Amino acid sequence: MLFELRDVSLARAGRPVLDSVSAEIHPGATAIVGPSGSGKSTLLRLLNRLADPDAGAISYRDRPLVEYDPLRLRREVSLVPQLPALLPGTVISNLRYAADLAGKRLDGRRYLGLAGLDAGFADRDVAELSVGEQQRTMLARALAQEPEVLLLDEPTSALDQAARDAIEATLAKLRAELEISLVVVTHDPEQARRLARRAVRLREGRVAACGALEEALA
């Protein structure tokens, strides 16, 4: 089992965001679906300990998440947030920062290519990129850490259809070639169908369904 959540609850400003969430996330590709405000992004942030639940337990590879060193965990379980937030500087300097943190050698051209950016982007200033290009740089930066699990929060929300198709093709390729597990938050059931084999469906902070994709989406 990749992740297992047992009765996980979390409140923000007195309002429950996640309420007794229990779910199993298997290796491979899993979509977390549900309307906006249903707790999808919050659930994703719990998986690499950007936040901890108020109650309940989460395990990763059958070991409690709290037993992992958070810094090492985040390099292994990499989260790409919905809104691009790059460090000031060039595209390649962002990739190098991430690779250095993970102690990996950087093959910039490869990771840019995987994220659908040509090598000419390497020396571009991130401030000059479109939102879609920034989002792809965020993906390339996460890949530069060679993670085992990618947590993606609405990875194509700022992209046009052609760029979205390119990213989705990249994610499929990553899963097939590098055996990276994906946990993808999306509000779009069709994207969930294209990317995932299993799904967790949330509604108002609770699990409405969890399991094989079509059953969970039904």
Binding residues (CB under 8 A) for other proteins: these are 12-13, 48-52, 70-75, 78-81, 83, 85-88, 97-98, 101-102, 138, 141-142, 145
- The amino acid present at 73, given as its one-letter code, is L
Min. distance of Cβ 26 from other proteins in angstroms?
23
Min. distance of Cβ 208 from other proteins in angstroms?
26
Give me the phi and psi of 148, to 5 degrees please: -95, -25
Residues 11, 17: Cα–Cα separation, whole Å? 5
> Which long-range contacts (C-beta less than 8 Å, at least 24 apart) are formed by 85-89?
85/138, 86/126, 86/134, 86/137, 86/138, 86/141, 87/126, 88/126, 88/127, 89/125, 89/126
- The amino acid present at 174, given as its one-letter code, is L
CB closer to other proteins, 104 vs 197 = 104
Min. distance of Cβ 6 from other proteins in angstroms?
19
Residues 112, 116: Cα–Cα separation, whole Å? 6
CB closer to other proteins, 11 vs 122 = 11
Min. distance of Cβ 84 from other proteins in angstroms?
8
Expressed in angstroms, the distance from the first to the final Cα of the chain is 24
CB closer to other proteins, 6 vs 104 = 104
Residues 101, 79: Cα–Cα separation, whole Å? 14
The distance of Cα 44 from the centroid of its chain, to the nearest Å, equals: 7
CB closer to other proteins, 53 vs 216 = 53
Min. distance of Cβ 176 from other proteins in angstroms?
25
- DSSP assignment of 41-77: HHHHHHHTTSS--SEEEEEETTEEGGGS-HHHHHHHE
CB closer to other proteins, 136 vs 141 = 141
**Biggest alpha carbon distance in the chain?**
48
CB closer to other proteins, 46 vs 210 = 46
Min. distance of Cβ 34 from other proteins in angstroms?
21
